[in-house]
Amino acid sequence: MILVTGGTGFIGSHTCVELAAAGEAFVILDNFSNSQRSVLERLQRITGQAPLCEEGDVRDGALLDRLFAKYPIDAVIHFAALKAVGESVAKPLAYYDTNVAGTLTLLQAMQRANVRTLVFSSSATVYAESAVMPIAEHFPLSPTNPYGQTKLMIEQVLADLDASEPQAWRLARLRYFNPVGAHESGLIGEDPQDVPNNLMPFVAQVATGQRAQLRVFGNDYPTVDGTGVRDYIHVTDLAKGHVAALNYLRQHTGLLTVNLGSGRPASVLEMVASFARACGRPIPYEVVARRPGDLAAYWADPSSAEQLLGWRAELDLDRMCLDAWRWQDGEARRQAACA
């Protein structure tokens, strides 16, 4: 059985769908600090089974001991974390507490329970700024914000843990690029609790009329059209990457580190144009100043994941936008119906 921490969140919930599709039993641990309980019944509608879920926090070691005693858990997929870059600058202690201390508590509970398989949600923000593209796993690591620092610190903990007990642990560090989109059913998707920091959910809210217009953060970058370029990956492809990583760990001890990205760069304006096609209406925008800390362009070299996991991102930008639109439009209609 798989313990999925943060399993009602954006990537966690989509991974639960793919775990169910793969016939994997799982139990969710979530404190619902950044997700809705309604995700559970939507997971049931998608998968046909009511997901097991325990409410609680990964920082509660005694609770984790109880879960490892209660369920036949033999692996963990660890999503539970705070993930907003800007917020991490304003609240570093909260990020180190939840992300680093929480993961340490989880690893200690795993060691006590002799559960030695972990898939860890890392991030491309661990990489240093690079003039060379695409980014490969051996590139220099140098986060520029506390959020990325927490991810790198946990990566280091996992490397040291593996070195301390060779062949005893099975650890995957998955470096996500830019996850976007939603499940094809339109029942689950990205559901930011306040003003979206990220491009795709903001564009989606402009498309539904919840936001008046998109602010494009700079069009003077040395890129195809002057706007920022990123590696967008459909959240369903990302979720499938987690199942592939879990299966890899079942065959291999040690430490796995792979990029999970599409390897296909896209600019802000290319994303806007794709979303306009998806929703059938223009996306109004205004070009404003660059956002501090933003890089011009980065995207993944996903070849390690392809070779080691037999996985690659299949869904393109238009599909990402179509699925995100179906989710956002459906949510807006559901909320209007409840108003």
- Figure out which of the listed residues 79, 95, 176, 248 binds ligand WQD, where binding follows CB under 6 A: 176
How does strand 52-55 pair with strand 26-30?
parallel
**Contact criterion met (CB below 8 Å) for 36 and 8:** yes
Query: Does 123 help bind ligand WQD (rule: CB under 6 A)?
Result: yes
Active site residue 147: yes
How many Å apart are CA 141 and CA 122, to the nearest integer? 12
DSSP string spanning 6-72?
TTTSHHHHHHHHHHHHTT--EEEEE--SSS-THHHHHHHHHHSSPPEEEE--TT-HHHHHHHHHHS-
Query: Does 150 help bind ligand WQD (rule: CB under 6 A)?
Result: no
Residues within window 283-322 making contact with ligand WQD, judged by CB under 6 A: 291, 294
- Figure out which of the listed residues 13, 98, 178, 328 binds ligand WQD, where binding follows CB under 6 A: 178
How many Å apart are CA 161 and CA 24, to the nearest integer? 26
- Size of residue set near ligand WQD by CB under 6 A: 19
SS3 state at 266: strand
The helix (run of H) or strand (run of E) holding residue 328 is helix 317-338
Query: Does 44 help bind ligand WQD (rule: CB under 6 A)?
Result: no
Show Cβ contacts of residue 251 under 8 Å, excluding neighbours closer than 6 positions.
Answer: none
Query: Does 268 help bind ligand WQD (rule: CB under 6 A)?
Result: yes
38-47 helix and 10-21 helix, angle to the nearest 10 degrees: 30
Residues within window 60-119 making contact with ligand WQD, judged by CB under 6 A: 83, 85
Query: Does 202 help bind ligand WQD (rule: CB under 6 A)?
Result: yes
- Figure out which of the listed residues 88, 103, 117, 125 binds ligand WQD, where binding follows CB under 6 A: 125
The residue annotated as part of the active site, out of 147, 232, 248, 285, is 147
Options 57-65, 110-118, 130-138, 196-204: segment touching ligand WQD (CB under 6 A): 196-204
By CB under 6 A, name the binding residues for ligand WQD: 83, 85, 123, 125, 176, 178, 197-199, 202, 214-217, 228, 230, 268, 291, 294
Active site residues: 147
